[in-house]
């Protein structure tokens, strides 16, 4: 048993709107080719969640997964049809998890999707089931609370839970919760009302009555412990709709539209479904509104619903001459998203539920062929027609294609716009909507709609201009600007510029209204005008922020300036980051605080360079505070501003902001830029104050840091020009020009300063004496008596009385400094005695040296027969050797190698050259003896173990790798 894949079943798919072909029919009825291994009639069928359930007259149930149609479950009822009757109806929940089967003898069975064994529902035995309302939560493990409608008008609540225990009933409980007196319950529907989980809506349909319940349901300790719908039916009254003249044989049923495939909806969310109630009078259909307020919910649903009369169904050709009373009978009905599909005497008629137009009237069944009915898969949006032998699928292509036309015709423009797919459709809706709104005088609403249409720009603009609707024109231009392509550069610039003009005119109008305290209109007072002014200003700000790239700066500046709108002008300049303009604006008006507020937000160094001069002249303290927080400024470019500030300000040096910033650069940023340092020196030196302590402190700080980041020649010229003597002396000293330093100090009679310089230059005694002589000469020339000169002489160690005598005047009497001369002569005599004593000691030392030299010829050393070389450890007498006074002995070659290792490269190279020359015998006679003497002198100059050469052995270990470590073990 399998699907015949040669003609195949293809699951319907949503077509791509862009690839949609308008010539394709909306409805296409396709026969699904099935081939079974048995020959029996279908007696019932259901489809849900792409699962097809077929009931055969033999009592067998076929479960087919349409996604994999080759897999078919063949299930038999527990008893034969002769015992329980033929299957009458199938009830499959939307998730295809639960199936209830009822037979002609009122035997009812339950089958779970994971089971192959139907279980008898003993508590429902004898109940002729006409309809079932599944739990809206769509459970899979159990049915949870469901409602069952019976042919006797009773509504039962039942909770079915599958069980593997043989003696346990499938129904956890069964309770009658409602009873109608209008015949069988042909339709049931339950859904959750948003707001709280305990709100439910229940719809009960009979052939003549439609009942709508909404309210709270009961709750128990745990799920399945008892009825929850009893409270609803007991406490809530139904909203009822009745039809009269009901035909006894006319079919009646309740159906609900499938779940929407997208979020598109006319006026509510996509959770609101459409119901259809088939009666003998026609189909009552409407929207199942959802609202937390359940008191008026039923009234709202029925008030919005409408009846599609049976007379709307076109008669068949064979019944074209019949009267209305003899119309073709409707045997089944389902709902799609937008259409009502009815099975009428072997043909399917589809009617659009919005405008009642017939969009499909197609004969499907052969004469004499009967149908089981129409079935909709409300999960997958598929639609099916079943006969006793065949299955048809009703494939719907782009069902909503004409919805926009219907909405447009009904002047429901917003809904029409939602369902318009192509640009031409949207444009048609927008144009018609705009014309309609203009006709009603709703210009603002029309402006937004016209902006999305292709109606000629000039026509729309003239409409609003002629009507004097500047607000509508502004709104239209804003909407139009948002739809213009980026490539339309000129159009975007022109529209955006026009909008600037409109905004300025509107703002001026509102300002004038506020100023004159006049009412803008009968319904708006001055306070409301103020509020509107704020709103328009925000709209303008949002506009320039969003469309700044479409605005020409120069043009906007001219427009806004011509209207005198300072705030809007500056806001635009700020938005486009034209801070030069903003700063220039405030500076020209000498609004220094506003200028600083703008500057605080800037990081572009060029702005600081440009406006530093003028701001330093008026708000130097605040400007310096701002600049000290900037990390990317080049202080050299700020020097003109500092110099200008220094020329015009009379502030003390400790309050000078230029000095403050320059010191900040030097001390905090460690600037070594000579221009910065020279500028600081220039400000220090040129200041009117006679106190040069600040300049001198800076210069001394540079010297202490062993730096000289300033130009010494420039600083010296500047200090000389402004007579900064101490600074000049310091600079001369730092340059090593002590003579010039002392001369300058003495020129300005700064004897102490000159003395300090002379005292510092102690590296060269001759120079120091020269400097002191210069100072002494100045002191003697300025002193009133010889006594002052003598006191100065006593302060200096280098000078003697004879050095100062040339500086005294000729008329000075020697008696005045006789004591100093005697002291000097006594000092000389004492020094002569000390020199004689040193000479005697030197002569005695030389005699001792001569005696030691003579004794060297008689010195010898005793070498024992077993003496060994201290380097190689071999017997010493085996070959030529050296013996030192310290009694260390070495072979000549061993000592030479050791000396080469320990001495420098030059000496080692020379020893190697001499050894090579001796070994080759290239030298003979006296020359050879000279080479040998030189080699012996180099090799035997000192013992390698106890002379200075041994110091280089300090980092060598006592135990070498070749030594026996056990001998050294403790």
The pLDDT tens digits for 426-452 are 878 788 877 777 888 888 888 888 888
Query: Is 716 a domain residue?
Result: no
Q: Which are the contacts of 593, defined by CB distance < 8 A and separation ≥ 6?
A: 619
Which pTM value belongs to this model? 0.56
Query: Is 373 a domain residue?
Result: no
Predicted local confidence at residue 208, as pLDDT: 93
End residue of a domain, out of 87, 120, 153: 120
**Strand pairing class (330-335; 129-133):** unpaired
Q: Report the C-alpha gap between 63 and 115 in whole angstroms.
A: 11
Residue 425, pLDDT > 90, answer no
pLDDT, averaged across the chain: 81
Is residue 46 a contact partner of residue 9, using CB atoms and an 8 Å limit?
Answer: no
Predicted local confidence at residue 10, as pLDDT: 34
Residues 822 and 921 in one domain: no
Predicted local confidence at residue 188, as pLDDT: 97
Task: Please give the residue range of the domain that contains residue 782.
Answer: 736-828
Residue 20, pLDDT > 50, answer no
Residue 624, pLDDT > 50, answer yes
CA neighbor of 111 nearest in space, from 96, 129, 133, 123: 96
Q: Comparing 304-318, 588-602, 915-929, which segment has the lowest mean pLDDT?
A: 915-929
Residues 820 and 881 in one domain: no
Query: Is 306 a domain residue?
Result: no
Predicted local confidence at residue 212, as pLDDT: 95
Q: Report the C-alpha gap between 598 and 583 in whole angstroms.
A: 7
Residue 485, pLDDT > 70, answer yes
**How large a percentage of the chain has pLDDT more than 90?**
25
Residues 1 and 96 in one domain: yes
Residues 822 and 881 in one domain: no
Residue 342, pLDDT > 80, answer yes
Q: Report the C-alpha gap between 264 and 131 in whole angstroms.
A: 30
Is residue 571 a contact partner of residue 545, using CB atoms and an 8 Å limit?
Answer: no
Q: Report the C-alpha gap between 514 and 931 in whole angstroms.
A: 120
Span 580-587, mean pLDDT?
83
Residues 884 and 810 in one domain: no
Query: Is 82 a domain residue?
Result: yes
Treating both helix axes as pointing N-terminal to C-terminal, what angle do 566-575 and 579-588 enclose, rounded to 10 degrees? 150
Indicate the pLDDT class of residue 2, thresholds 50, 70 and 90: very low
Give the start-end residues of each E strand in 804-850: none
Span 654-682, mean pLDDT?
87
Indicate the pLDDT class of residue 773, thresholds 50, 70 and 90: low
Predicted local confidence at residue 558, as pLDDT: 92
Residue 265, pLDDT > 70, answer no
Residues 892 and 784 in one domain: no
Treating both helix axes as pointing N-terminal to C-terminal, what angle do 674-686 and 693-704 enclose, rounded to 10 degrees? 150
Residue 43, pLDDT > 70, answer yes
CA neighbor of 384 nearest in space, from 91, 624, 50, 747: 50
**How large a percentage of the chain has pLDDT more than 70?**
83
Query: Is 90 a domain residue?
Result: yes
Residue 535, pLDDT > 60, answer yes
Residues 930 and 818 in one domain: no
Indicate the pLDDT class of residue 159, thresholds 50, 70 and 90: very high
Q: Report the C-alpha gap between 404 and 421 in whole angstroms.
A: 9
Q: Comparing 6-15, 24-33, 575-584, which segment has the lowest mean pLDDT?
A: 6-15
Residue 477, pLDDT > 80, answer yes
Indicate the pLDDT class of residue 345, thresholds 50, 70 and 90: confident
Residues 37 and 113 in one domain: yes
Residue 81, pLDDT > 80, answer yes
Residues 116 and 37 in one domain: yes
Predicted local confidence at residue 639, as pLDDT: 87
Q: Comparing 79-83, 728-732, 807-811, 876-880, which segment has the lowest mean pLDDT?
A: 807-811
- Greatest CA separation found in the chain? 171
Q: Which are the contacts of 578, defined by CB distance < 8 A and separation ≥ 6?
A: 553
Residue 51, pLDDT > 90, answer yes
| Cα–Cα distances in angstroms (integers) from residue 822 to residues 773, 814, 828, 832, in the given order | 21, 11, 10, 15
Query: Is 502 a domain residue?
Result: no
Predicted local confidence at residue 516, as pLDDT: 76
Predicted local confidence at residue 649, as pLDDT: 83
Residue 98, pLDDT > 70, answer yes
Query: Is 508 a domain residue?
Result: no
Residues 3 and 107 in one domain: yes
Angle at 104 between CA 101 and CA 108, to 5 degrees: 30
Residue 288, pLDDT > 90, answer yes
Query: Is 641 a domain residue?
Result: no
Q: Report the C-alpha gap between 805 and 767 in whole angstroms.
A: 20
End residue of a domain, out of 120, 153, 185: 120
Predicted local confidence at residue 234, as pLDDT: 92
Span 459-477, mean pLDDT?
88
* Residue pLDDT, tens place only, 233-247: 999 999 999 998 887
Q: Report the C-alpha gap between 110 and 112 in whole angstroms.
A: 7
Predicted local confidence at residue 806, as pLDDT: 58
Predicted local confidence at residue 140, as pLDDT: 77
Predicted local confidence at residue 230, as pLDDT: 92
Span 635-643, mean pLDDT?
87
Predicted local confidence at residue 193, as pLDDT: 86
Residues 810 and 896 in one domain: no
Predicted local confidence at residue 194, as pLDDT: 82
Indicate the pLDDT class of residue 12, thresholds 50, 70 and 90: very low
Tokens encoding 134: 């599944």
Q: Please give the distance of CA 417 from its chain centroid, rounded to a whole number.
A: 35
End residue of a domain, out of 788, 803, 828: 828
Residues 2 and 114 in one domain: yes
Question: Side-chain half-sphere of 731: how many Cα atoms within 13 Å?
Answer: 22
Residue 588, pLDDT > 90, answer no
Number of domains the chain contains: 3
Residue predicted with more confidence, 853 or 2? 853
Range of 5-14, 498-507, 703-712, 761-770 with top mean pLDDT: 498-507
Q: Which are the contacts of 883, defined by CB distance < 8 A and separation ≥ 6?
A: 861, 863, 889
Q: Comparing 112-121, 253-262, 391-400, 404-413, which segment has the lowest mean pLDDT?
A: 404-413
Residue predicted with more confidence, 859 or 927? 927
Predicted local confidence at residue 8, as pLDDT: 34
């Amino acid at each position: 048993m399998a699907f015949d894949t040669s003609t195949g079943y293809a699951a319907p798919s949503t077509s791509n709107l862009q690839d949609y072909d308008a010539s394709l029919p909306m409805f296409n009825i396709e026969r699904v080719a099935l081939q079974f291994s048995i020959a029996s009639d279908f007696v019932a069928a259901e489809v849900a969640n792409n699962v097809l359930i077929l009931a055969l007259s033999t009592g067998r149930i076929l479960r087919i997964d349409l996604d994999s149609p080759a897999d078919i479950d063949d299930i038999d009822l527990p008893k034969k049809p002769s015992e329980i009757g033929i299957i009458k109806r199938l009830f499959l929940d939307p998730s295809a998890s639960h199936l209830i089967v009822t037979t002609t003898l009122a035997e009812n069975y339950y089958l779970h999707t994971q089971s192959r064994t139907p279980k008898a529902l003993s508590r429902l035995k004898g109940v002729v089931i006409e309809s079932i309302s599944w739990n809206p939560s769509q459970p899979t493990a159990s049915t949870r609370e469901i409602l069952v409608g019976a042919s006797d008008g009773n509504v039962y609540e039942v909770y079915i839970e599958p069980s593997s225990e043989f003696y346990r009933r499938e129904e956890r409980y069964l309770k009658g919760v409602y009873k109608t007196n209008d015949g069988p319950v042909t339709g049931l529907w339950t859904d959750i009302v948003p707001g709280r989980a305990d709100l439910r809506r229940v719809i009960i349909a009979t052939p003549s009555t439609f009942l709508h319940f909404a309210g709270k349901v009961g709750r128990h300790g745990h799920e399945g412990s008892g009825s929850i719908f009893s409270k609803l039916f007991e406490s809530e009254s139904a909203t009822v709709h009745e039809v009269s003249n009901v035909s006894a044989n006319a079919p009646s049923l309740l159906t609900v539209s499938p779940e929407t495939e997208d979020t598109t909806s006319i006026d509510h969310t996509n959770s609101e479904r459409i119901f259809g109630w088939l009666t003998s009078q026609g189909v009552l259909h409407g929207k199942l509104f959802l609202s937390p307020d359940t008191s008026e919910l039923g009234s709202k649903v029925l008030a919005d619903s409408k009846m599609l009369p049976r007379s709307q169904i076109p008669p068949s050709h064979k019944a074209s001459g019949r009267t209305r009373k003899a119309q073709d009978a409707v045997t089944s009905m389902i709902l799609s998203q937008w259409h009502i599909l009815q099975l009428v005497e072997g043909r399917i008629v589809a009617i659009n539920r919005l405008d009642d137009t017939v969009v499909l009237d197609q004969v499907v069944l052969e004469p004499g062929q009967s149908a089981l009915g129409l079935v909709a898969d409300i999960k997958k949006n598929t639609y099916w027609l079943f006969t006793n032998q065949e299955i048809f699928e009703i494939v719907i292509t782009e069902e909503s294609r004409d919805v926009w036309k219907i909405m447009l015709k009904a002047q429901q423009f917003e809904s029409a716009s939602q369902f318009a797919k192509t640009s031409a459709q949207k444009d048609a809706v927008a144009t018609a909507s705009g014309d309609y709104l203009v006709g009603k005088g709703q210009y603002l609403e029309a402006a937004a709609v016209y902006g999305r249409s292709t109606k000629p720009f000039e026509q729309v603009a003239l409409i609003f201009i002629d009507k004097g609707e500047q607000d509508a024109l502004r709104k239209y231009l804003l909407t139009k600007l948002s739809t213009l392509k980026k490539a339309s550069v000129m159009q975007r610039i022109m529209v955006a510029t026009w909008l600037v003009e409109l905004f300025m005119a509107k703002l001026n109008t509102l300002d004038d209204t506020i100023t004159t305290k006049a009412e803008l209109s009968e319904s708006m007072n001055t306070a409301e005008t103020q509020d509107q002014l704020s709103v328009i200003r925000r709209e303008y700000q949002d506009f320039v922020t969003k469309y700044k790239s479409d605005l020409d700066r120069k043009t906007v500046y001219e427009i806004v300036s011509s209207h005198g709108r300072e705030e809007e002008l500056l806001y635009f300049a700020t938005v486009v980051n034209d801070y030069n303009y903003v700063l220039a604006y405030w500076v020209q008006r000498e609004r220094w605080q506003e200028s600083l507020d703008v500057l605080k937000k800037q990081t572009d160094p060029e702005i600081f360079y440009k406006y530093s001069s003028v701001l330093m002249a008026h708000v130097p303290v605040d400007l310096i505070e701002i600049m000290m927080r900037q990390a990317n400024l080049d202080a050299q470019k700020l020097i003109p501003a500092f110099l200008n500030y220094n020329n015009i300000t009379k502030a003390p040096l400790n309050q000078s902001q230029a000095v403050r910033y320059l010191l900040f650069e030097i001390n905090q940023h460690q600037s070594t830029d000579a221009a910065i340092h020279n500028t600081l020196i220039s400000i220090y030196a040129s200041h009117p104050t006679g106190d040069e302590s600040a300049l001198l402190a800076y210069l001394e700080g540079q010297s202490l840091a062993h730096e000289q980041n300033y130009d010494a020649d420039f600083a010296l010229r500047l200090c000389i020009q402004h007579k900064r003597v101490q600074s000049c002396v310091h600079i001369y000293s730092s340059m090593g020009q002590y003579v010039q330093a002392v001369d300058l100090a003495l020129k300005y009679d700064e004897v102490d300063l000159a003395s300090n310089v002379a005292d510092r230059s102690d590296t060269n005694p001759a120079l120091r004496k020269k400097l002191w002589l210069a100072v002494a000469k100045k002191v003697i020339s300025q002193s009133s008596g010889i006594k002052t000169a003598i006191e100065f002489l006593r302060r200096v160690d280098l000078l003697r009385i004879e050095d100062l005598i040339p500086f005294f005047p000729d008329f000075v009497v020697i008696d005045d400094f006789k004591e100093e001369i005697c002291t000097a002569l006594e000092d000389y005599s004492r020094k002569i005695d000390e020199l004689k004593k040193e000479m005697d000691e030197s002569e005695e030392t030389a005699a001792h040296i001569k005696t030691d030299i003579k004794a060297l010829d008689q010195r010898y050393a005793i070498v024992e027969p077993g003496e060994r070389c201290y380097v190689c450890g071999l017997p010493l007498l085996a070959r030529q050797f050296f013996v030192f006074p310290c009694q260390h002995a070495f072979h000549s070659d061993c000592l030479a190698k050791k000396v080469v290792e320990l001495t420098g490269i030059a000496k080692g190279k020379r020893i190697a050259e001499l050894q090579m020359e001796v070994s080759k015998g290239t030298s003979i006679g006296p020359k050879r003896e000279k080479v040998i003497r030189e080699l012996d002198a180099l090799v035997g100059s000192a013992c390698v173990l106890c002379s200075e050469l041994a110091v280089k052995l300090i980092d060598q270990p006592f135990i070498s790798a070749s030594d026996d470590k056990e001998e050294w073990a403790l």
